[in-house]
Structure 1
């Protein structure tokens, strides 16, 4: 018992002593803790200020608010704004913002904006309470200055460190900028939905109204959007927009910015969505993409810099032509139907070849922004549309060939390369260059290329801007557009523009000028010096011949419009190994009026057995006609110019009343025709034996209008034609009709057996030697009905004359050259091998052009 009380008493004093010590320590601790807190608060505030100042100093460029650059057409009219990652934006100055608009935003987003220094502690406290209750960061509590800070420098995440940084930047902004500057930056940068940034762009997009003309209800509608742009914009959610508008108006009324009557009237207004015309979101896409690409090259700026720099970009865009082109490309009836979802594609460009300005461009059906522009990015085989580039153009430029020059449209193989005509009537023999290009004849085109040499054709093509493979393309197939790498629609437009521009080079461009936000020009187009790619005479002759393509009987009649048109069709075979069909891979029409050049291509992006074109180039020519007919309306009509020194004289007219008849009595073909009026006119006779591929000149420099061909052989068939030739002008007329003559086979009968003892009188022409034997009549030679006519064959070496025939017979034969032998002691003409790149009869190339198979030959 004694121990218990003692134990209790001894513990009480100890407990009292401990309490006194803790109070003292607590007081000291609280004092120093308070001091430390004050110091830390001061240091923290200083750190916040310094951190914000540091961020602002390191990111001065962020104060330059991005602004969507504007595209203008050729007339200086705004077409669209370039969209970017931040959407469309157009900045304004503080004075341009209506006071009520500023008040609507302040009342809605930050009612204490004019009082705080970047951070509103009351709002932050309110937000913290809501966050604690919700156990998540749901309330922002951010001031307008903080929202601007976040928009300028930070991300959307809600973390403590991000909020602290946001606060530090906001405080720094309040030190660096005035309230007017801050609200202006905010309203220029804030997002208003539908890809629109900034209050000015929003007023145009939602109301088609200038900012200064906005009504109260419209201002409240716009002020309602930034809290949730997807939910509160009046286009996507008109009901939510109306309810939010009422909230904004109520806040404005409560804060004394508007009256009750103004509030009620603004709440009752009805929103009618603006009917937006086509913009860059769905129109002009290929052209605008091309403009941006061109601007990058000439200005040295990046695409992003161009799009958000607020530049005014003036272009060559002809909105009428562009709209017509897009309308026709949107019409499915202008294209063949596909068996599946893969469409027949197409592309087109129009260039004013007088100044190089691109008028319109479509990069494909259903073209998407930054998609595949088939005008510039997809090389294809040009087919016969390349003939003016590698065959006819260089031939005329040489000075040796003219539209009336006679070519040979005959089936010929050049080594292993055997071009074929795809015309209904094939291999018509002699044909003028004009007719050859009009009907797109392959055999005569390759024949002409072989005559001028492949090297000549390649040089002309390279001069026209095409980069051919110096090894793989060195063959006759380039005459029909069989190329290693193909060409683009843009390449063809540039080349055909030179034909239309009197032989001078053209620089197709879409960009005229770039103006920055200060009004200074950062780029002005300056045309390069034009180069004379061909003589004006060659350009005129080519234009004259290609006009025939759109005339009756030509391959491009669908391209005709109400003004002069010259052009050329082109179709390439499908080229699928083992597939026998007449369907094609590519269909072209390249043509021009005196004012504009346009090129159309059609085809599948990927050609296979299920995806080939059936209608050839006629549909491309038709598309040219449909687009150009309406696109060029309003452009003053012109005419193709004729150079002053172009050859005015015309070749002799064609031969008429040509006749060719075999005379059995004389065993020769008698040829006759009507004479041609003119002094010194001569005539040329051409002949081809049925087994020969080409005609050869039989007689030259004739002045008579009838002649006998004695060099015919029995059983043979010959075809003839005649031309008139003016030696003073060195001009040959168009060929006459072709006439074919069949020579009957010779009938050899044995001599009659005379009666024994019959004596033939001397006056019959027989003499009887003393030994009683008989001799043949005449001079001891074989009688005509028993002798063998000389065959006139040329020996194998092709260069020696033919052996003369015997008796009155006649003969004709060919070796590697051609040889004609006449029976009365005549000799065969010496066979020669040309040195101009042509191929002799054995089909092997000589020292001129390069014969080769190349790519698959093309159809017209």
Structure 2
């Protein structure tokens, strides 16, 4: 019987297959992997060599075609609202002066190398170590946080290439960089770089930059100046010392630290150079002659933000920038800012300064700008400078928030019952007299504003300010907020924007200077306004407009701002706040106002105020400048009207006429004593009018809450006539006049004392700010000058036996002429009043 073949089980077969696979796997490792790795490496090396040769060949081709010809691109041009050219951002003939390598200070070369390319002397155009480091940092940060361009690459980009940002351009840049390294020495590359690189202010080249920023030749530069120049190329718009001295100084410190770390300077040299403050050379104005410089500077900043380009890319890209500039308005602004008679004169070369910005609040388009008197191109633009706004902040911090609560209207009576609020005692010439909110705005009453803010809470004021675009620090949450006493302050542009929102019916306004940008390759970017929001109620905006219209009327603090169309606005002043200085002077003066079409903010003051550099005129000067500019600037703007809103009128009967009006004369004291019977109404005051025999009209002599007033200013040989009216501040209504009494004064010897009065009370300039207070109780500290309460001294009239009376005549009221007010509003008690209780106290409480 034949032997049967032995069968294997399934499990044995599986073991056999696995064993075979294991043996095969072992055979694929070792030499096989070695050959794969070896040939891959060879291929990679060959590709790298070929790629490198291609880079060199491409760079050599570009160099052979273009040689050393500079390609600075096409000029970018700025146009006004009428599409007329107003400025060129770039010009092939602009300032440039070539410097040789030997004439460049060694420390300046080291500063540039330490900052821009630490391995410049070692690499061959591309720094692979820097590239690797940058890649790692970018991966860790998940964004581009570090660049790796060498000085040679930057030179290639700036000399031979356009500003187009593409992968091909970066490859071409690398090609040219390697080719440059093959063709030129390191000295030649560094020299070409320093002669071509952009330093801001249309300055190309290190020699021109040194002359412009420091008025020095290269061999005269100090270490801190070299470091300042080396800091600029990274961001010419941000790090130039003329426009941004703080950022420039910070970047200078970085450059000096890099120089110290790389052994170029000592620690002492580093520390000394860090501390020097930059002062622009005296002839800087002559070097900055660009037309409409302040406006153009704003356009450049806005275009950089809008396009995300660098300033140099923007200038050399051949772009057409269409702006909102109104040539008529801009020319008027520049004309008036060049007129020295519009400003305070100074005791030395530091001029009193000013800034102005005009916005069409219907569109947000900035019409015209002045960054300051003798504004320097790319200089300190004061429309961004933050200052204390004084009373100009009252509509934003007090009256607006109160109206927004819905509990107040312009006719609401502020029943002021005290002059101090937990040791904070604001001053004005009215004292604790109840007054309508509208009248408080017109007179710019400090005590009324503080009293009202205390009623609604400082948090309301902070919130309202934030809605209008001014986020204030928590340190400002106190009652000095009512008078514009802020920790940091606000800028003219911020104030113009806030008032623009009020003028625009409470809706968003986005100030801008650019309409659209066009460029090569069908590039186009158009301004798009953000979605409009209702920030404050339409009723609040209308109420504020109605109240601020009265500020510019006769008797208001802003009367000098009136032009041939409706104007609403507010004045503001701040005290000097200089410790230990007892003299007079104003630190800041403001007028912010608007017509139905445009809004403008004006600030006046000194860049560096001290006891010798303070304004001697008040905010009426700013109001006058507003009128001088806005009148002719708007001559081609169609007139319109403000929106009317029905106001809630609190019905109160008009005051009754006074009775039993009497006059006595004390000859020994040359004093006229007037008295009358009180009327049966609460909260009223009495206005006394007087006319001298050589005067045609009556004028307001005094105001008192009592029933007696002493006139100690009479002079011998004159005749004086008097009458009295009753004024109800709750309704802003004045009664008909009383009978008229006339006295002949026979005494010959008398001297009149004239106490001048201001029309706009000054606000205290904060030096020590109160800490944050609980929301329920706001208790700010005393004002820096000691916090006088503004209350009148309780002086009783002297008691003297009356002599024989001089002849007194009485005229019927119907025959009296109407009083004619002077410019300050005297003679119109419903518009302005004077704090008088009795006799000599009448004018002693001059405005502080």
TM-score when normalising by structure 2: 0.51
Aligned residues: 478
* Distance in structure 1 (CA, Å) of the matches to 2:617 and 2:181: 67
1:386 to partner: Cα distance: 0.2
Residue 415 (structure 1) aligned with residue 419 (structure 2): no
Contact 2:419 2:431 survives alignment (8 Å): no
* Distance in structure 1 (CA, Å) of the matches to 2:541 and 2:775: 30
Residue in structure 1 matched with residue 350 of structure 2 by the alignment: 342
1:69 to partner: Cα distance: 0.7
Residue in structure 2 matched with residue 431 of structure 1 by the alignment: 435
Residue in structure 2 matched with residue 456 of structure 1 by the alignment: 460
Residue in structure 2 matched with residue 546 of structure 1 by the alignment: 548
Deviations 1:286-326 (A, max 9, x none): 11110111111121111111111110001101111111101
* Distance in structure 2 (CA, Å) of the matches to 1:723 and 1:672: 11
Q: Secondary structure at the match of 1:599?
A: strand
Contact 2:409 2:647 survives alignment (8 Å): no
- Correspondent of 2:517 among 488, 507, 514: 514
- Correspondent of 2:406 among 374, 377, 399: 399
Deviations 1:574-593 (A, max 9, x none): 00112123311000000000
Residue 556 (structure 1) aligned with residue 554 (structure 2): no
Residue 647 (structure 1) aligned with residue 650 (structure 2): no
* Distance in structure 2 (CA, Å) of the matches to 1:482 and 1:163: 61
**Mind listing any 5+ residue stretches in structure 1 that lack a counterpart?**
1-46, 90-147, 154-160, 168-188, 190-194, 198-277, 662-668, 674-683, 689-719, 725-731, 740-844
Residue in structure 2 matched with residue 15 of structure 1 by the alignment: none
1:491 to partner: Cα distance: 0.4
Deviations 1:79-102 (A, max 9, x none): 11113787399xxxxxxxxxxxxx
Contact 1:482 1:856 survives alignment (8 Å): no
1:540 to partner: Cα distance: 0.9
Contact 1:82 1:280 survives alignment (8 Å): no
Contact 1:80 1:280 survives alignment (8 Å): no
Residue in structure 1 matched with residue 657 of structure 2 by the alignment: 657
Going from structure 1 to structure 2, the CA distance change for 1:659 and 1:300 (only over 3 Å counts) comes to farther
Contact 1:150 1:166 survives alignment (8 Å): no
TM-score when normalising by structure 1: 0.51
* Distance in structure 2 (CA, Å) of the matches to 1:49 and 1:294: 41
Residue 625 (structure 1) aligned with residue 602 (structure 2): no
1:464 to partner: Cα distance: 1.0
Contact 1:570 1:587 survives alignment (8 Å): yes
* Distance in structure 1 (CA, Å) of the matches to 2:79 and 2:630: 23
Q: Secondary structure at the match of 1:539?
A: helix
* Alignment map for 1:663-702 (pairs within 5 Å): 672=679, 685-686=682-683
* Distance in structure 2 (CA, Å) of the matches to 1:576 and 1:550: 31
* Distance in structure 2 (CA, Å) of the matches to 1:319 and 1:59: 48
1:652 to partner: Cα distance: 3.8
1:529 to partner: Cα distance: 1.4
Going from structure 1 to structure 2, the CA distance change for 1:659 and 1:166 (only over 3 Å counts) comes to same
* Distance in structure 2 (CA, Å) of the matches to 1:601 and 1:313: 29
Residue in structure 1 matched with residue 587 of structure 2 by the alignment: 585
Deviations 1:4-40 (A, max 9, x none): xxxxxxxxxxxxxxxxxxxxxxxxxxxxxxxxxxxxx
Contact 1:588 1:602 survives alignment (8 Å): yes
Q: Which protein shows a greater Rg? A: 1
Query: Which moved further from structure 2: 580-589 or 333-342?
Result: 580-589
Contact 1:384 1:570 survives alignment (8 Å): yes
Deviations 1:346-371 (A, max 9, x none): 00000000000000011011111110
Going from structure 1 to structure 2, the CA distance change for 1:721 and 1:429 (only over 3 Å counts) comes to farther
Contact 1:317 1:359 survives alignment (8 Å): yes
* Alignment map for 1:213-612 (pairs within 5 Å): 281-376=289-384, 378-408=385-415, 412-421=419-428, 423=429, 426-427=430-431, 429-470=433-474, 472-521=475-524, 523-612=525-614
* Distance in structure 1 (CA, Å) of the matches to 2:423 and 2:470: 26
Contact 2:449 2:482 survives alignment (8 Å): yes
* Distance in structure 2 (CA, Å) of the matches to 1:50 and 1:626: 64
1:734 to partner: Cα distance: 3.7
1:613 to partner: Cα distance: 0.7
Q: Secondary structure at the match of 2:779?
A: coil
* Distance in structure 2 (CA, Å) of the matches to 1:498 and 1:310: 36
1:63 to partner: Cα distance: 8.8
Q: Secondary structure at the match of 1:629?
A: helix
1:538 to partner: Cα distance: 0.9
1:619 to partner: Cα distance: 0.7
* Distance in structure 2 (CA, Å) of the matches to 1:459 and 1:639: 29
Residue in structure 1 matched with residue 88 of structure 2 by the alignment: 81
Residue 848 (structure 1) aligned with residue 845 (structure 2): no
* Distance in structure 1 (CA, Å) of the matches to 2:379 and 2:352: 17
> What RMSD in Å do the two structures reach over aligned CA positions?
4.1
1:430 to partner: Cα distance: 1.6
Residue in structure 2 matched with residue 733 of structure 1 by the alignment: 731
Contact 2:658 2:677 survives alignment (8 Å): no
* Distance in structure 2 (CA, Å) of the matches to 1:651 and 1:318: 47
Going from structure 1 to structure 2, the CA distance change for 1:317 and 1:856 (only over 3 Å counts) comes to farther
**Mind listing any 5+ residue stretches in structure 2 that lack a counterpart?**
1-51, 97-155, 162-178, 186-195, 197-201, 205-285, 662-675, 686-724, 738-772, 788-846
- If asked which structure has higher relative contact order (CA below 8 Å, sep 6+), I would say 2
Going from structure 1 to structure 2, the CA distance change for 1:553 and 1:166 (only over 3 Å counts) comes to same
1:672 to partner: Cα distance: 4.8
Q: Secondary structure at the match of 1:338?
A: coil
* Alignment map for 1:85-124 (pairs within 5 Å): 87=94
Deviations 1:728-762 (A, max 9, x none): xxxx63476899xxxxxxxxxxxxxxxxxxxxxxx
Going from structure 1 to structure 2, the CA distance change for 1:165 and 1:383 (only over 3 Å counts) comes to same
Going from structure 1 to structure 2, the CA distance change for 1:577 and 1:510 (only over 3 Å counts) comes to same
Contact 1:511 1:525 survives alignment (8 Å): yes
1:656 to partner: Cα distance: 2.8
Going from structure 1 to structure 2, the CA distance change for 1:50 and 1:408 (only over 3 Å counts) comes to closer
1:196 to partner: Cα distance: 13
